[in-house]
Amino acid sequence: MTLAKKRAITAYVFLALPLVFFIGVRFGPMLYMMGRSLTDWSLLRKSNQFLGLANFAAVLGDPVFGKAMANTARYALVGAPIVIALSLAVALLLNGIARGKGLFRLIYVLPYITPVVAVSWVWRWMYQSPPMGLINRLLGALGLPAHAFINNPKEALYSILGVGIWVEMGYCVTIFLAGIQTIPQDCIEAARIDGASESRVLRSIILPLLMPITFFLAIMEGIQFLRIFTPVYNMSSQAMGGPLDSTKSAALYIYQTAFTKFEMGRAASASLILFAVIMVVTLVQVRFFDKKTNY
Amino acid sequence: MKRFRGIGLVLIVLMVLAAQAATAEQVKITYWQYFYQTKVELMDKLIAQFEAKNPDIKVEQVTFPYESYNQKVAASIPAGEGPDVINLFGGWLPMYVKANYLQELPKAAFPASYFKSTYYPFVADSVQFGGKYYSAPTAVRTLALIWNKKLFKEAGLDPNVPPKTLDELVAFSKKLSKYDAQGNLVQAGLAMQPNGQGHSYIREVLFRQFGAAPYDATGRKVTYNNANGVAAVQWYMDRIMKDKVGYPNFSTDDVTAFKAQLAAMNIDGSFRIATLKAVKDLEWGAAELPTYKGVKSNFASFWTHGIVAGVTGKKLDASVKFLKFITSPEAMEQWLAAVGELPANPKIGEKHKDDPYVSIFLKGLPYAHATAYVDEAGQRTLFVNMIDEINLKGSKTADVVATTAAQEQKLIDDFWK
C-alpha cells in the first residue's frame, strides 16, 4: 500500500466516526420523521394508522399555522437584513478606532455568549408596562406615553425581534471584523494614493471583498431567524406566542403541536414544511449571492 | 447441649427461609407526580407510613418538573415504561381516559357509594366516565377573593371588610387603582389575568352568576353563547377597558403583581395560601367570591391519583392499597398541613372551619363546579384570546363570544368523535 493510500484510509476512518454520529442522530430521525408525518401518530395512542397526506392538508389548512409562517417570514425578512447591515456598520466603526477596540468588541459579543433564556427574561422585564418596566419608566421620565411592547399584537413581534437582533449582532460583528482584517492593506493604500475618497474605498474595495462573508452571514442569519424559538417561548405570556398568536413562530407551532397536543404526526409534517421553506430560501440565496461573489 | 445446637440450627434455617420468602413476596410499585417541594416531601413521609403498615410493599416515588410532566407521561406510553400509580390534573383525565391510559378502579375497593359518601359532589362527577370511576383525589382547590390589607388602609377602606357583591367589587377596585401623571395604571385595584385563574373565573363563576351555564349537563355542549353569557364577559371587559382597574399581564401576571403589592385584590386559588403566607410584609385576607344578584358560584379543580392500565395481579393489589392509603382521612389531614390544599372529604374539611384562610376556600366547595375539560390548554387559550381580541383589537364582545363558543364546541366535538 502506498503512503498516499494509507493516509487516505486514515482520513476515511476519522471521517467515518462523525458520519456514524450524523446518520444516527440527524439523518436517521429525519427519515423516521418523514415516515411518521404520513401517520396519525399521537404519543397517547398505542397504535397509529397511515393517513397519506392528510396531516399536510390539516397543517396547511390551519389558520394558526398560516399566521405562524407569516410571523416567521417577518422575523427572517426584517431580522436578517437589519442584523447584517448593523453589524457591518459596527464592525467598520470598530475597525476604525485605535483605543478600546477589545472592550467594545467584548461589549458587542456579550449578548451572544449569554444564554438566550436569561437574555429573553431580562428583556421581558424591561418591556413591562409601568411601574415595573425599565423602558417605560424611562419613557415616562421623558414625558413620553407608555408602550405596551410585548402586550400589543402590533408591537410584540418587533419587540422580540429586537432582542434577537441584539443577540445575533455579537456573532455577526465578530465575523465581519475578522473579514475586514483579511482585506489586503496595500489595495486600500494604493487606492488612497490614487486619490480615492474614503467612501469610494468602502464601496469599491471593502464591500466587494467582504461579499463572501456577507453571503455566509446572510444564509446563517436567514436560517437562524426562520427557526426562531427561544426568545418567543420565553418572552410571550405562558410561552403561547401571543398576544393573539402575533409572535408565534413556525418552530413554536411545531413544539406546541408535538408536546402540548402530542400530535406527533401533524408536528412532523409541519416541520417538514418548515424544512422545505428553509431549503428553498437558502438555495435562492446561494444563487443570488453566487453571481455577486464572482469577482 | 447437642440438642440445643440442633434446634438452633433448625431455627436459623427457618429464619433464612422466612426472610427469603418475605423478600420474594415483596411487591414494588412506582408512583409518579410532578415536582412541588412540599408535595414531594409529604409523599415521602406518607410512603414511609404506608410501608411500615405494609412491609410486603415497596413504593418508589418518581417526580418530574411540572413544565415537562405531561410530556414525560405521554412519552412513557410508547416506551412501554411508566408508573403503577400516577398523579394527574383533573382537567387532563378525559384525555388520558380516552387514550386508555388509566384503568377503571376496582369496584370492590372503590364502589360508587364510596365516592358519594367520601367526596364533595363535583369530585365524583369529574372522575367518572361512562359510569366507571378512574381516579381518586386527596386534595381539592377552590377560588377566593384575596386582598391586600395595607393597600386597603392607604385607600381609606376598612382593611377587614372585603367586597361581598360584584357591585361592591367594582366600587372597591376603582378606589384601589392608582395612575401616574400620564394616566398609566401603577397600582391595580383588581388583577385581571385570563391565563391565570381568570378564564376559570369567567367560565364557572361569572357565566353562572349571570345566568348562563357554560356547558349542558353532559358537558359536551357549549351553552354560554347568549345574552347572559355576553353580559358576563362584558362585565369582565368593563373592568379592563372602562374602569381600567387592571389588565392582562400587568406586572408580568396577577400573582407577581399581588406579591409585589402592586395589585390590591386578586381572584386566586387555595394552592396559593402557602406561597402568600411566605411573602414578607404582605398582610392579606381571603374572602368568599363576591355574589351577583345573590348567586354564588366557585371553580374547583384538583390533582388526582389513578392506576395505570396494564397493572395486574399483586402489583394491582398493592396499588389499590396504596391509593386507599393516600386518599385516607389521615393522608388528607397531613396534606392540608404540609401543602395547604383542601381535603377532598367534606368531613375532614369540617374540622378546619376556624382557620382564617382555609375556612374561606372551604366555604366555596359545596357550590363549586369543576370543568370537564377535553383539552385544558386549548380551552384556556380560547378564553385568553377572547379577552385579548376584545381588549387589544376592539372587536365586539357579542361577536367574539359567538366565535369562541363555536371554536370551543368544535374542540369538544373533535375530541368525542
Confidence of residue B376 (pLDDT cuts 50, 70, 90): confident
Identify the CA nearest to B50 among candidates B21, B19, B29: B29
B190 and B324 belong to one structural domain: no
Q: Tell me the CB-side half-sphere exposure of residue B309, using CA atoms within 13 A.
A: 15
Instruction: With residue B305 as reference, give the H or E element that holds it.
Output: strand B301-307
Q: What angle do CA A11, A17, A23 make, to 5 degrees?
A: 125
Question: Which chain B positions have a beta carbon within 8 Å of A237's beta carbon?
Answer: 195, 248-249, 253
Rounded Cα distance between B200 and B236, Å, is 12
Cβ neighbours of B337 (radius 10 Å): 11
Model pLDDT, residue B14 = 59
pLDDT tens across A3-59, in order?
889 999 999 988 888 888 888 988 999 999 999 899 888 887 767 788 888 899 999
CA distance linking residue B229 with residue B326, whole number of Å:
40
Q: Chain B partners of A243 at a C-beta cutoff of 8 Å?
A: 248, 388, 392
Cβ contacts of B248 on chain A, cutoff 8 Å: 151, 237, 243
Cell of B170: 367594582
DSSP-based three-state secondary structure for B185: strand
DSSP notation for A36-49: HTTB---TT-SS--
Pairing of strands B265-269, B143-148: antiparallel
Residues B386 and B248 in one domain: yes
Is A14 domain-assigned? no
Instruction: Tell me the C-alpha distance between A61 and A54, whole Å.
Output: 10
Q: Is B195 in contact with A43 (Cβ distance < 8 A)? A: no
Most confident of A23-27, A91-95, A160-164, B12-16: A160-164
Q: Is the pLDDT of residue B412 over 80?
A: yes
The SS3 of residue A236 is coil
A138 touches chain B (CB under 8 A): no
Output helix, strand, coil percentages for chain A, rounded to the nearest 5: 75, 0, 25
Residues B72 and B153 in one domain: no
- Identify whether residues B122 and B200 lie together within a single domain: no
List CB contacts (< 8 A) between A242 and chain B. 384-385, 388
| pLDDT value at B77 more than 80 | no
Whether residue B265 is found in the same domain as residue B390: yes
Identify the CATH number of the domain in which residue B265 sits. 3.40.190.10
Query: Where is the domain boundary, B361, B391, B408?
Result: B361
In our burial notation (b when 16+ CB lie closer than 10 A, e otherwise), range A223-260 reads: bbbbbbebbbbbbbbeebbbbbbbbbbbbbbbbbbbbb
A132 — contact with chain B (CB < 8 Å)?
A: yes
- Report pLDDT for B18: 57
Region B80-95: what's the mean pLDDT? Answer: 88
Asked if B185 lies within 8 A of A260 by C-beta distance, the reply is no
Note whether B252 contacts A132, CB cutoff 8 Å.
yes
Question: Which member of A45, A143, A152 has the closest CB to residue B99?
Answer: A45
Q: Which of B314, B331, B361 is the last residue of a domain?
A: B361
ipTM confidence: 0.82
Strands (E) across B35-126 are located at: 57-64, 85-89
Cα torsion B98, B99, B103, B107 to 10°: value is 10
Per-residue confidence (pLDDT) for residue B324, from 0 to 100: 93
- Burial string for A51-62 (b: 16+ CB within 10 Å, else e) reads beebbbebbeee
Nearest to A146 among B184, B385, B393 (CB): B184
> Choosing among A39, A42, A44, A248, which should be mutated to test the B contact, i.e. which has the most B CBs within 10 A?
A44
Residue B132 pairs in a beta bridge with B129
First to last CA, chain B: 81
| Residues B226 and B342 grouped into a single domain | no
What cell does B265 get?
385584590
Identify which of A14, A58, A60 has the alpha carbon closest to the alpha carbon of residue A277.
A60
Contacts of A131 in chain B (CB under 8 A): 180, 184, 186, 251, 262
State yes or no: pLDDT of A250 exceeds 60: yes
Kindly give the pairing relationship between strand B143-148 and strand B178-179: unpaired
Q: Based on the domain organization, do B209 and B295 belong to the same domain?
A: yes
pLDDT confidence of residue A272 = 93
Residue bearing cell 399581588: B258
pLDDT at A176: 93
Q: Is residue B106 part of a domain?
A: yes
Among residues A278, A166, A285, the alpha carbon closest in space to that of A217 is found at: A285
Tens-place pLDDT, residues B218-234: 888 999 999 999 999 99
Q: How far apart are the first and last CA of chain A?
A: 43
Sign, CA dihedral B247-B250-B253-B254, equals negative
For B382-409, what is each residue's pLDDT tens digit?
Answer: 999 999 999 999 999 999 999 999 999 9
Instruction: Please state whether beta strands B185-187 and B301-307 pair in parallel, antiparallel, or not at all (unpaired).
Output: unpaired
Whether a cis peptide bond, with omega within 30° of 0, leads into A184 is: no
Residues of chain B with C-beta less than 8 angstroms from the C-beta of A124 = 252
pLDDT at position A3: 87
Other CB atoms within 10 A of residue B92 CB: 20
CB atoms within 10 A of CB B408: 23
Q: Is residue A170 part of a domain?
A: yes
Provide the pLDDT confidence category of residue A187 given band limits of 50, 70 and 90: confident
Residue B129 cell numbers, joined:
366516565
For chain A, the domain total comes to 1
Q: Decide if B103 contacts B56 (C-beta within 8 A).
A: no
Tell me, yes or no, if A52 comes closer than 8 A to chain B by beta carbon: no
Residue B316 lies in a domain: yes
Q: Which amino acid type is present at position B352?
A: H
DSSP B285: E
B5: its cell numbers = 445446637
State the smallest CA–CA distance between residue B79 and chain A in angstroms. 10
Q: Say whether pLDDT at B373 is over 70.
A: yes
Supply the pLDDT for residue B224.
Answer: 96
The alpha carbon of residue B186 is apart from the nearest alpha carbon of chain A, in Å, by 5
Q: Which of B185, B249, B375 sits opposite A237 (nearest CB)?
A: B249
Q: Which amino acid is at B105?
A: L
pLDDT tens, position by position, B100-149:
889 999 999 999 899 888 888 888 888 888 889 999 999 899 999 999 99
| Burial of B291 (C-beta count, 10 Å sphere; 0-12/13-18/19+) | middle
Strand, helix or coil for residue B222: strand
Q: Can you give the pLDDT at residue B85?
A: 94
Best interface-test mutation with A: which of B73, B101, B251, B308 has the largest number of A CBs within 10 A?
B251
Averaged pLDDT of chain B: 89
Residue B343 pairs with which residues in a beta bridge? B139
Contacts of A129 in chain B (CB under 8 A): 184-185, 249-251
Instruction: Kindly provide the b/e burial profile for residues A121-152, where b requires at least 16 CB atoms within 10 angstroms of the residue's own CB.
Output: eebbebbbbbbbbebbbebbeeeeebbbbbbb
Question: Residue B88 pairs with which residues in a beta bridge?
Answer: B304
Average pLDDT over residues A225-248: 92
Q: Is pLDDT above 70 for B15? A: no
pLDDT cut 70: percent of chain A above it: 98
The answer to whether residue B1 sits within a structural domain is: no
Does residue B163 form part of some domain? yes
- Contact yes or no for B101 and A44 at CB 8 A: yes
Query: Do the domain assignments include residue B383?
Result: yes
- Is B51 a domain residue? yes
Q: How many folded domains does chain B comprise?
A: 2
Report the alpha-carbon distance of residue B123 to residue B114 in Å, rounded: 12
Q: What is the pLDDT of residue B9?
A: 60
A240 touches chain B (CB under 8 A): yes
Determine whether the interchain pair B392/A128 forms a contact, defined as Cβ–Cβ distance below 8 Å: no
Q: What is the mean pLDDT of residues B284-292?
A: 95
| Res. B25: pLDDT tops 80 | no
Which chain A residue shows the shortest CA-CA distance from B415? A261
Q: Is the pLDDT of residue A260 over 90?
A: no
Residues B150 and B247 grouped into a single domain: yes
In which domain, by residue range, is A287 found? 56-293
**Beta-bridge partners for A265:** none
DSSP letters along B125-161, please?
Answer: HHSEETTEE-EEEEEEE-EEEEEEHHHHHHTT--TT-
Q: What percent of chain A has pLDDT over 90?
A: 48
Residue range A77-91: average pLDDT? 94
Least confident of B16-30, B257-271, B294-308: B16-30
Q: How far is B385 from chain A (nearest CA, A)?
A: 6
Full residue range of the structural domain in which residue B401 is found: 143-299+374-416
CATH value at residue A121: 1.10.3720.10
Say whether A242 and B385 touch across the interface (CB within 8 A).
yes
Which A positions 92-131 lie with beta carbon below 8 A of chain B? 124-125, 128-131
Q: Strand B301-307 and strand B135-141: pairing? A: antiparallel
Confidence (pLDDT) at B236: 97
Numbered residues of chain B with Cβ closer than 8 Å to any chain A Cβ: 70-71, 74-75, 77-78, 95-96, 99-101, 180-182, 184-186, 195, 248-253, 260, 262, 375, 377-378, 381, 384-385, 388-389, 392-393
Is B350 found in the same domain as B273? no
In whole angstroms, give the CA distance from residue B339 to residue B329. 15
Mean pLDDT of A76-96: 93
Residue B257: name the closest of B176, B330, B172 by CA.
B176
* Percent of residues, chain B, with pLDDT higher than 90: 60
Instruction: Classify residue A19: in a domain, yes or no.
Output: no
User: Does the pLDDT at position B195 exceed 70?
Assistant: yes
Residues B323 and B262 in one domain: no
Angle, CA of B126, A264 and B218, to the nearest 5° = 20
pLDDT, residue A231, reads 95
Residues B31 and B117 in one domain: yes
**Residue in chain B nearest A242 by alpha carbon:** B385
- In-domain check, residue B7: no
Listed residue (B178, B120, B134, B133) closest to B300, CA to CA: B120
Position B263 in a domain: yes
- Domain match, B275 and B310 both: no
Q: Which of A124, A130, A240 sits opposite B186 (nearest CB)?
A: A130
Q: What is the pLDDT of residue B5?
A: 64
Minimum Cα–Cα distance from B375: chain A residue: A261
> Residue B3's pLDDT is what?
59
Single residue among B361, B386, B407 that ends a domain in this structure:
B361
- Hey, which residues does B135 pair with through a beta bridge? B306
Q: Do B78 and A43 touch (CB under 8 A)?
A: yes
Instruction: Please tell me what DSSP assigns to residue B295.
Output: B
Asked, as a colleague might, if the bond just before A131 is cis with ω within 30 of 0, I would say yes
Nearest CB to B75 within list A43, A129, A136: A43
Give the 3-state secondary structure of residue B36. Answer: coil
For residue B283, the model assigns a pLDDT of: 94
**Subunit contact B182:A262, Cβ cutoff 8 A:** no
Please, which residues have CB within 8 angstroms of residue B142's CB and are 6 or more apart in sequence?
A: B269, B270, B298, B299, B300, B342, B361, B362, B364, B365, B368
**pLDDT given at position B20:** 56
